[in-house]
Structure 1
């Protein structure tokens, strides 16, 4: 079972909304004007709306899959407890039957029967105590093996009620002791109804915490490995994109420094932050990054507005570049970069029954922001729009410096937060096979990851938009569409009819189609023109 944070540490609805917005708003926004350049405003707008609805639906079915797994695990746990109690009760009954049929002698028969009866009563009481003790021991052992079971199970006593009634169809109404459970002739297991974990505090403890854990339950260990590899790919891809953005803007303002030198210097400065092992120490830097990102994006929108020209707007409105639409698709999928963080955010919510409403509001807010940022940037600069929108602000040198400083600071401090899950996953694997000291492994893995992202940024420095599209195609489409669809299909196969099965299969195929189409088109453009799409 998974540990659930204590209620006083969980997030309110407003905090959950903020966390979701923080998870989604990132460097993907900076590429949205470039994305609309590759789709046109009409096709891109319609596609963005459809993509948002599909992504939101996949998030909701992923959470529903988490809940279904929790219910199944809890049912299995209660069934195991039932079998243990039934076995203990049967053993006690057999022992009592054997001792009560002891042959009596003609002489002293009454005394023997009295002694046997007294002995049987003592034996029965001893067995009852032993059954209760065994129940305590069993529950305690299960708890210690899982490390996060409820205290009610860790120290179960004969007078402590179980969380669910053995006969009721809902939550417990009558308390049952371990001894009483052993005496029951019928024991029906009932998990509380509902679609959210918040309806049962006990059910919450059985919920998987991560995307990988959900994938492992539905798609076996292979599913978890695939999910974790994709998460590593996307998180390192985000970090590479951040380094490209930072280095290109530094090079713009300090031409004496080549782009590769800017990447190297930035990487060296980031190593101390990457070595931090407790994410809570990154919280102050997260606050700084969010503030500077908001300031930078607001200034970009302002200068987009004052740059708008009616003639350019009319020309842009007539464009339908179908050949480069897959590039738009990849960047748009990349912009939903927070999908991998949805389950942790959901797990930390106080009132999970409100999650559906909160995530819908957050999604609508983010969609408006993406459309506003992308469309204004494209309408302002038309076909001249660069894959990094700030490169179009050269006519406003002083404001551009302010904007670049804000965005550089924002992405610099976002880098260690986005990189954090990658070495954590690597640590868990390497510690099991490495003979090196954990301290050495910790430093080596994190430094190696920074070096890897630096190398990727140097090689891909001229392809910021295409890199966003590749990451969205491979990692984003798989994590946002293909895997949630497959997981839901497997878990709800018996419950759903053919229509809903077909819907889940279509989602999975949609993700694979986005992946294949975007990879082929982007690779073709790079090979044939030496440049990114558009």
Structure 2
């Protein structure tokens, strides 16, 4: 019986090996079989990648540098950016390998992770089935976290602008924004949102230019500069930078919709150029923002700008850009929850699908509003969702996918090094997830007790 069991396991391993390496014997190229109605060009894809850097994360970089120290912040930002870029490449390549072995044009990230894990070591194969649900959970949580951060940022920005005229609690500004946010989120077509997104990009870019102008020409902080920071606050820095750089769902969607996807991961391709420019922008805002405001940086650098007309214009433009972007980020959780879990079940019950979909859209807006009101701490929100979700989506799952696919290859030193690298990435993701989440939650609790 034992020999029979070993033979059966060996047969499964051989089958997994054959499946994983069919692409070595087959010229099937998934990229050539994609059928897209409106594929994006390389330039359009690059614009989408650059747009990732124009969220609330970049405005929190000065505070992140204050937590990590200038020297640590610069070095760690570059290292994290390199690792994140590599992990995104790993994820895209693993998806491509899964598509090739299954001879299909495209496989979603959660399903690709399941297939990859089922080809991996025996200990990981049971994880294949629950993995898609776990990835969906992290995707939905991350995107809803972004939406929460957007509500908090818009409310804080308006409070900064209108406090000289009349003082009102930040929660009231959140309530004022709720109806227009709900109305915007009822637009179901991304194509209809595209023109508004283009306008938002222009407003955000103009605002960033104004912010950099004040950081470079304004009066700098006289407090001493911290070069190395503290190990106790470094997890908050890690959560912030990972939150800002690791938009896995958007990056995968960009690659999946490219007209020439092979140019995405080339050395001078869309991903590398986009991440290089984005990282440079992050370094500039983080470094000069910390020099400008010192250790007392606010959750967003716009809150530290002087009360002048030009600075107020920058705050207003960025707040409007974030408002428009809310619906785009909420599209992902609506798509995952509705199309994957709710719609198939309601359809079998003969329910009114249109009404239920609108209820889901309104419900998600109300959920993000209640979370934002409960914990209106933008910097801690960013660190929490970055550490919790981005570490898992951007580090852990891509490493598991690559290691599982590599497991079926013949033993070699190259395979051993690859799997050791993936183990290191997975461990780094877990450490960042646990430490960053714990530190962020502790910071949120302390922020309430210090009231």
TM (normalized to structure 2)?
Answer: 0.83
- Give the direction of change, closer, same or farther, for the CA distance of 1:318–1:49 in structure 2 (3 Å limit): closer
Report whether the alignment pairs 1:249 with 2:157: yes
Could you say if the C-alpha distance between residues 526 and 452 of structure 1 is closer, same or farther in structure 2, counting changes exceeding 3 Å? closer
Determine the C-alpha separation between the residues in 1 that align with 2:309 and 2:344: 53
1:31 maps to which residue? Answer: 60
Question: Distance between the aligned counterparts of 1:20 and 1:5, measured in 2?
Answer: 22
Instruction: Give CA-to-partner distance per residue, 1:39-60, whole Å, 9 cap, x none.
Output: 0010111111111111011011
The alignment status of 1:341 with 2:250, answered yes or no, reads yes
* Pairing 1:510–2:428 present: yes
- CA drift of 1:234 comes to 0.5
The separation in 2 between residues aligned to 1:464 and 1:484, in whole angstroms, is 28
Aligned residue among 355, 358, 365 for 2:264: 355
- The CA deviation string for residues 91-134 of structure 1, in whole angstroms up to 9 with x for no partner, is xxxxxxxxxxxxxxxxxxxxxxxxxxxxxxxxxxxxxxxxxxxx
Aligned counterparts of 1:43 and 1:323: Cα–Cα separation in 2: 13
Identify the residue that residue 487 of structure 1 maps to in structure 2: 401
Deviation at 1:4, TM superposition (A): 2.4
* Equivalent residues in 2 for 1:117-516, closer than 5 Å: 205-208=104-107, 210-219=108-117, 220-254=128-162, 255-309=166-220, 312=223, 315-318=224-227, 320-356=229-265, 357-358=268-269, 359-393=271-305, 395-428=306-339, 429-434=341-346, 435=349, 436-461=351-376, 463-495=377-409, 497-516=415-434
Tell me the equivalent position of 1:47: 76
Post-superposition CA distance 1:27-82 (Å, at most 9, x none): 110110110010001011111111111101101111110111111112xxxxxxxx
Report deviation, 1:323.
2.0
Q: Find the aligned partners of 2:447 and 2:314 in 1 and give their Cα distance.
A: 32
- Contact residue 28 and residue 337 of structure 1 kept, 8 A: no
Structure-2 change in CA distance of 1:405 and 1:54 (3 Å): same
CA shift, 1:262, in A, is: 1.1
1:460 Cα deviation from its structure 2 partner: 1.5
Does the 8 Å contact 1:470/1:519 carry over to 2? yes
Q: How far apart are the structure 2 equivalents of 1:333 and 1:239?
A: 16
Contact 2:185/2:327 (CA < 8 Å) preserved in 1?
A: yes
Q: Relative contact order: is structure 1 or structure 2 higher (C-alpha 8 Å, sep ≥ 6)?
A: 2
Provide Cα deviations, 1:153-193, integer angstroms capped at 9, x if missing partner: xxxxxxxxxxxxxxxxxxxxxxxxxxxxxxxxxxxxxxxxx
Task: Point out the more displaced range, 397-406 or 289-298.
Answer: 397-406
Tell me the TM-score normalised to structure 1 length.
0.71
CA distance in 1, matches of 2:259, 2:134: 31
Supply the distance in 1 between the matched residues of 2:445 and 2:192 (Cα, whole angstroms).
Answer: 44
Aligned residues: 396
Give the whole-Å Cα distance in 1 for the aligned partners of 2:323 and 2:176.
Answer: 12
Structure 2 unaligned blocks of 5 or more: 1-29, 118-127
RMSD (CA atoms) = 2.0
Partner of 2:125: none
Q: Where do residues 40-119 of structure 1 align in structure 2 (5 Å cutoff)?
A: 40-74=69-103
Q: Is the 8 A contact 2:219 2:292 kept in 1?
A: yes
Distance 1:252 1:531, change over 3 A: farther
Tell me, yes or no, if the aligned pair for 2:221 and 2:294 is still in contact at 8 Å: no
Residues 24 and 404 of structure 1: is their aligned pair in 2 closer, same or farther, counting only changes over 3 Å? Answer: closer
* CA shift for structure 1 position 307: 1.9
Aligned residue number for residue 19 of structure 2 = none
CA contact (8 A) 1:275 1:446 kept: yes
Q: How far apart, in 1, do the equivalents of 2:45 and 2:385 lie?
A: 26
- In structure 2, the residue corresponding to 1:322 is in which secondary structure? coil
**CA distance in structure 2 between the partners assigned to 1:311 and 1:447 by the alignment:** 47
The gaps in structure 1 that reach 5 residues or longer are 75-204
Are the structure 2 counterparts of residues 531 and 18 from structure 1 closer, same or farther at C-alpha, using a change threshold of 3 Å? farther
Check whether the contact 1:427–1:441 (CA below 8 A) recurs between aligned residues. no
1:353: how far off?
2.6
Q: Is the 8 A contact 1:20 1:338 kept in 2?
A: no
SS in 1 for 2:129: helix
1:60–1:396: structure 2 CA closer, same or farther, 3 Å change rule? same
Aligned CA distance change for structure 1 residues 318 and 70 (closer, same or farther; 3 Å): closer
C-alpha distance in structure 1 between counterparts of 2:95 and 2:245, whole Å: 20
SS in 2 for 1:386: coil
CA contact (8 A) 2:201 2:321 kept: yes
Aligned partners of 1:57, 1:294: CA distance in 2, in Å?
27
